[in-house]
Structure 1
Amino acid sequence: MAGLAGKGLGTMLHTLLNPGQTPLRVLCLGAHCDDIEIGCGGSLLALLESRNDVEITWVVFASNGERRAEAQMGARLFAQGSLSLDIRILDFRDGFLPTEPVRLKETFESIKASTPSPDLIFTHYRQDLHQDHRAVSDLTWNTFRNNLILEYEIPKWDGDIGQPNVFVPLAKHNGDTKIHHLQQAYRSQAEKPWFSHDLFWSLMRIRGMECNADETIAEAFYSRKMIIAV
Structure 2
Amino acid sequence: MKLDILAFGVHPDDIELGCSGTIIAALAEGKTVGIADLTQGELGTRGTAETRKTEAANAAAIMGVTIRENLQMADGFFQNDEAHQRKVIQVIRKYQPEIILCNAPEDRHPDHGRSARLVSDAAFLSGLRKIETIQDGIAQEAWRPKYVFHYIQDRFIQPSFVVDITPYHDQKIKAILAYTTQFNSPGTQEPQTYISSPQFLDTVKARALMLGKRIGVQYAEGFISEKVLGVSSFDAFIQNVT
TM-score of the two chains, using structure 2 as the length reference: 0.72
Specify which of 95, 120, 126 is matched with residue 115 of structure 1: 95
- Looking at structure 2, the residues matched to 133 and 186 of structure 1 have their Cα atoms a distance apart, in angstroms, of 19
Specify which of 31, 56, 68 is matched with residue 71 of structure 1: 56
Corresponding residue number in structure 1 for 2:169: 175
Q: Which amino acid aligns with 1:176?
A: D
Would you say the 8 A contact 1:165–1:221 is kept in 2?
A: yes
Specify which of 173, 179, 183 is matched with residue 186 of structure 1: 179
Gaps of 5+ in 1: 1-22
Identify which of structures 1 and 2 has the higher relative contact order when contacts are C-alpha pairs closer than 8 Å and 6+ apart: 1
Would you say the 8 A contact 2:62–2:171 is kept in 1?
A: no
- Looking at structure 1, the residues matched to 110 and 194 of structure 2 have their Cα atoms a distance apart, in angstroms, of 21
- Counterparts of residues 1-230 of structure 1 (less than 5 Å): 25-49=4-28, 51-52=29-30, 54-63=31-40, 64-78=49-63, 80=64, 85-98=66-79, 101-116=81-96, 118-145=97-124, 146=144, 147-155=146-154, 160-171=155-166, 173-183=167-177, 185-191=178-184, 192-195=193-196, 196=198, 197-209=201-213, 211-214=214-217, 216-228=218-230, 230=232
- Looking at structure 2, the residues matched to 65 and 72 of structure 1 have their Cα atoms a distance apart, in angstroms, of 11
| Offset at residue 208 of structure 1 (A) | 1.4
User: Residues 82-112 of structure 1: CA distance to partner in whole angstroms, max 9, x if unpaired?
Assistant: 6xx32112322222223x7343122112112
| Offset at residue 57 of structure 1 (A) | 2.2
**Structure with greater proportional helix content:** 1
Q: How many pairs were matched up?
A: 192
Q: 1:75 to 1:43 in 2, by over 3 A?
A: same
Would you say the 8 A contact 1:124–1:151 is kept in 2?
A: yes
- Looking at structure 2, the residues matched to 212 and 226 of structure 1 have their Cα atoms a distance apart, in angstroms, of 19
Would you say the 8 A contact 2:102–2:151 is kept in 1?
A: yes
- Looking at structure 1, the residues matched to 3 and 67 of structure 2 have their Cα atoms a distance apart, in angstroms, of 14
Over aligned residues, Cα RMSD in angstroms? Answer: 2.1
| Offset at residue 228 of structure 1 (A) | 3.3
- Sequence identity percentage: 23
